[in-house]
Structure 1
Amino acid sequence: MPAQILLQANPPADPSLLPDSILSLGVQLDTKDYLSKDELKAMKLFRRAADYIAAAMIFLNDNVLVERDITPDDIKPRLLGHWGTCPGLAMVYGNINRLVRKTDLNALYVVGPGHGAPAILSSLWLEDSLSAFYPSMTRDRKGLHELIKGFSAPGGFPSHINAGTPGAIHEGGELGYALSVSFGAVMDNPDLVVVCVVGDGEAETGPTATAWHGIKYIDPAESGAVLPIVHVNGFKISERTIYGTMDDKEMIALFTGYGYQVRIIEDADNLDNNLAASFDWALAEIKKIQSAARSGKPIVKPRWPVLILRSPKGLGGPKSFHGEFIEGSFHSHQVPLPGAKSSSEELEALQAWLKSYGPQELFTADGTPVPEILSIIPEAPESRLGQKRESFRAYSPLTVPRWQNFCAEKGSQDSCMKALGRLLKAVVHENPQRFRIFSPDELVSNKLDAVFDETGRNFQWDEQSRAQGGRVIEILSEHTCQGMLQGYTLTGRTGLFPSYEAFLGIVQTMMVQYSKFTKMAGEIPWREPCGSLNYLETSTWTRQEHNGFSHQNPAFIGAVLNLKPASARVYLPPDANTFLSTMAHCLRAKNYVNLMVGSKQPTPVWLSPEEADKHCIAGASVWKFASVDDGVNPDVVLVGIGVEVTFEVIAAAALLRKHVPELRVRVVNVTDLMILSANGKHPHALSDEAFDSLFTPDKPIHFNYHGYPIELQGLLFGRPRLERVSIEGYREEGTTTSPFDMMLCNHTSRFDVAAAAIRGGALSNPKVAVNAHGHESFIKHLAVKERDYIYRHGKDHDDMFNTPTF
Structure 2
Amino acid sequence: MAPGHLPTTDRLRAVDAWWRAANYLTVGQIYLLDNPLLTRPIEPDDVKPRLLGHWGTSPALNLVYAHCNALIAETGREFLYVCGPGHGGPAMNANAWLEGTWNELYQDVDLQQFFRQFSFPGGIPSHAAPETPGSINEGGELGYSLSHAYGAALDNPDLVVACVVGDGEAETGPLSGSWQAHTFLDPVSDGAVLPILNLNGWKIANPTVLARIPDEDLTAYFRGLGYDPIVVDSRRVDDDPYAVHALFDGALRRALAAIDDIQAAARAQAERAAAGQPAGAAALRPRWPMIVLRTPKGWTGPKEVDGEQVEGTFRAHQVPLPAVREDEGHRAQLEEWMRSYRPEELFDADGHPVGIMTGIRPSGDARMSATPHGNGGRLRTALDRPPLEPYGVEAGSTASATGTLGPWLAALIERNASTFRLFGPDETISNKLDAVFDVTSRVWRARRAAGDEHLSARGRVTEVLSEHLLEGMLEGYVLTGRHGILNTYEAFAHIIDSMVGQYAKWLESSTDIDWRVPVSNLSILLSSHVWRQDHNGFSHQDPGFLDVVASKQQDLVRIKLPADANTLLAVAAHAMETTDRIEVIVAGKHPEPVFLSLDDAVAHAAAGLGVWDWAGTEQEVGRADVVLACAGDVPTVEAIAAADIIRRHAPGVGVRVLNVVDLLALGDPRKHEHPIPDEQYDALFLPGTPTVFAFHGYPTLVHQLTYRRNGHDDLHVHGFLEQGTTTSPFDMLMRNEMDRFALAHDALTRVDAEAHADLLAKLTEARDAARTHAYTKGEDHPALAGWEFAGWPQDEPATGGTGGDPGAGETEAAAPGN
- Of 48, 57, 68, the residue aligned with 2:20 is 48
What secondary structure does 1:704 align onto?
Answer: strand
CA distance in 2, matches of 1:454, 1:381: 39
- Of 247, 252, 277, the residue aligned with 2:250 is 277
- Matches of residues 86-97 of structure 1 in structure 2 within 5 Å? 86-97=58-69
What secondary structure does 2:730 align onto?
Answer: helix
CA distance in 2, matches of 1:480, 1:776: 51
For 1:408, the aligned partner's letter is: V
CA distance in 1, matches of 2:326, 2:395: 76
For 1:67, the aligned partner's letter is: T
Q: Which residue of 2 aligns with 1:486?
A: 475
Does residue 438 of structure 1 match 2:426? no
- Matches of residues 337-348 of structure 1 in structure 2 within 5 Å? 337-348=321-332
Q: Which residue of 1 aligns with 2:537?
A: 548
How far has the Cα of 1:172 moved from its partner? 2.1
Does residue 622 of structure 1 match 2:611? yes
For 1:291, the aligned partner's letter is: A
Q: Is the 8 A contact 1:539 1:600 kept in 2?
A: yes
CA distance in 2, matches of 1:446, 1:201: 36
CA distance in 1, matches of 2:389, 2:141: 41
CA distance in 1, matches of 2:354, 2:726: 71
For 1:804, the aligned partner's letter is: F
- Matches of residues 316-355 of structure 1 in structure 2 within 5 Å? 316-355=300-339
Q: Is the 8 A contact 1:42 1:376 kept in 2?
A: yes
Q: Deviations over 1:710-734 (max 9, x none)?
A: 1111110110121111011001111
- Of 93, 99, 103, the residue aligned with 1:131 is 103
How far has the Cα of 1:684 moved from its partner? 3.0
Q: Is the 8 A contact 2:444 2:457 kept in 1?
A: no
Q: Which residue of 1 aligns with 2:676?
A: 686
How far has the Cα of 1:40 moved from its partner? 1.8
How far has the Cα of 1:562 moved from its partner? 0.9
Q: Deviations over 1:68-112 (max 9, x none)?
A: 211111110110000000000000000010010000010100000
Q: Deviations over 1:640-664 (max 9, x none)?
A: 1110111011111111222222221
Q: Is the 8 A contact 2:443 2:462 kept in 1?
A: yes
What secondary structure does 2:141 align onto?
Answer: coil
Does residue 292 of structure 1 match 2:275? no
Does residue 356 of structure 1 match 2:346? no
How far has the Cα of 1:468 moved from its partner? 4.2
CA-based RMSD of the aligned residues comes to 1.4
How far has the Cα of 1:35 moved from its partner? 7.0
Q: Is the 8 A contact 2:524 2:585 kept in 1?
A: yes
CA distance in 1, matches of 2:685, 2:374: 45
- Matches of residues 550-589 of structure 1 in structure 2 within 5 Å? 550-589=539-578
CA distance in 2, matches of 1:86, 1:515: 26
Q: Is the 8 A contact 1:572 1:673 kept in 2?
A: yes
Q: Which residue of 1 aligns with 2:127?
A: 160
- Of 350, 359, 366, the residue aligned with 1:375 is 359
What secondary structure does 2:783 align onto?
Answer: coil
- Matches of residues 94-113 of structure 1 in structure 2 within 5 Å? 94-113=66-85
- Of 519, 538, 543, the residue aligned with 1:530 is 519
Does residue 238 of structure 1 match 2:205? yes
Q: Which residue of 2 aligns with 1:21?
A: none
What secondary structure does 2:443 align onto?
Answer: coil
271-280 or 658-667, which deviates more: 658-667
Q: Is the 8 A contact 1:678 1:716 kept in 2?
A: yes
CA distance in 2, matches of 1:521, 1:721: 37
Q: Is the 8 A contact 2:616 2:647 kept in 1?
A: no
What secondary structure does 1:800 align onto?
Answer: helix
526-535 or 658-667, which deviates more: 658-667
Q: Which residue of 1 aligns with 2:148?
A: 181
Q: Deviations over 1:107-166 (max 9, x none)?
A: 1000000110111111111111111211123xxxxx221111211112222111111111
Q: Which residue of 1 aligns with 2:217?
A: 250
CA distance in 2, matches of 1:301, 1:613: 44
Does residue 67 of structure 1 match 2:42? no
What secondary structure does 1:640 align onto?
Answer: strand
Does residue 495 of structure 1 match 2:484? yes
- Matches of residues 508-527 of structure 1 in structure 2 within 5 Å? 508-527=497-516
Superposition TM-score, scaled by structure 2 size: 0.91
CA distance in 1, matches of 2:616, 2:38: 78
What secondary structure does 2:782 align onto?
Answer: coil
CA distance in 2, matches of 1:50, 1:135: 20
Q: Which residue of 1 aligns with 2:274?
A: none
Q: Deviations over 1:535-574 (max 9, x none)?
A: 0000001010100000000011011101111211000000
Superposition TM-score, scaled by structure 1 size: 0.93
For 1:448, the aligned partner's letter is: L
What secondary structure does 1:668 align onto?
Answer: strand
Does residue 664 of structure 1 match 2:654? yes
What secondary structure does 1:132 align onto?
Answer: helix
Q: Is the 8 A contact 2:441 2:461 kept in 1?
A: yes
Q: What are structure 2's unaligned runs of at least 5 residues?
A: 1-5, 270-278, 792-818
How far has the Cα of 1:405 moved from its partner? 1.7
CA distance in 2, matches of 1:251, 1:300: 24
CA distance in 1, matches of 2:442, 2:64: 34
What secondary structure does 1:385 align onto?
Answer: coil
What secondary structure does 1:196 align onto?
Answer: strand
- Of 444, 468, 471, the residue aligned with 1:459 is 444
CA distance in 1, matches of 2:284, 2:781: 54
How far has the Cα of 1:773 moved from its partner? 2.8
How far has the Cα of 1:507 moved from its partner? 0.5
Q: Is the 8 A contact 2:83 2:165 kept in 1?
A: yes
For 2:419, the aligned partner's letter is: R
Q: Is the 8 A contact 2:442 2:456 kept in 1?
A: no
Q: Is the 8 A contact 2:26 2:94 kept in 1?
A: yes
Residues 770 and 289 of structure 1: is their aligned pair in 2 closer, same or farther, counting only changes over 3 Å? same
Q: Which residue of 2 aligns with 1:752?
A: 742
How far has the Cα of 1:775 moved from its partner? 2.4
413-422 or 606-615, which deviates more: 606-615
How far has the Cα of 1:299 moved from its partner? 2.6
Q: Which residue of 2 aligns with 1:217?
A: 184
- Of 765, 771, 791, the residue aligned with 1:781 is 765
What secondary structure does 2:341 align onto?
Answer: coil
Residues 647 and 365 of structure 1: is their aligned pair in 2 closer, same or farther, counting only changes over 3 Å? closer
Residues 688 and 658 of structure 1: is their aligned pair in 2 closer, same or farther, counting only changes over 3 Å? same
Q: Is the 8 A contact 1:679 1:719 kept in 2?
A: no
- Of 669, 673, 683, the residue aligned with 2:663 is 673
Residues 462 and 624 of structure 1: is their aligned pair in 2 closer, same or farther, counting only changes over 3 Å? farther
How far has the Cα of 1:629 moved from its partner? 4.2
Question: Which ranges of 4 or more aligned residues in structure 1 deviate by more than 6 Å?
Answer: none
Residues 581 and 350 of structure 1: is their aligned pair in 2 closer, same or farther, counting only changes over 3 Å? same
How far has the Cα of 1:682 moved from its partner? 3.2
Q: Which residue of 1 aligns with 2:371?
A: 388
What secondary structure does 2:369 align onto?
Answer: helix
Q: Deviations over 1:720-779 (max 9, x none)?
A: 1211110110011110000000000111000110011101222xxxxxx54233322221
237-246 or 265-274, which deviates more: 265-274
Q: Which residue of 2 aligns with 1:18?
A: none
For 1:621, the aligned partner's letter is: G
Q: What are structure 1's unaligned runs of at least 5 residues?
A: 1-33, 138-142, 763-768
Q: Is the 8 A contact 1:164 1:524 kept in 2?
A: yes
How far has the Cα of 1:692 moved from its partner? 1.7
Q: Is the 8 A contact 1:498 1:537 kept in 2?
A: yes
681-690 or 489-498, which deviates more: 681-690
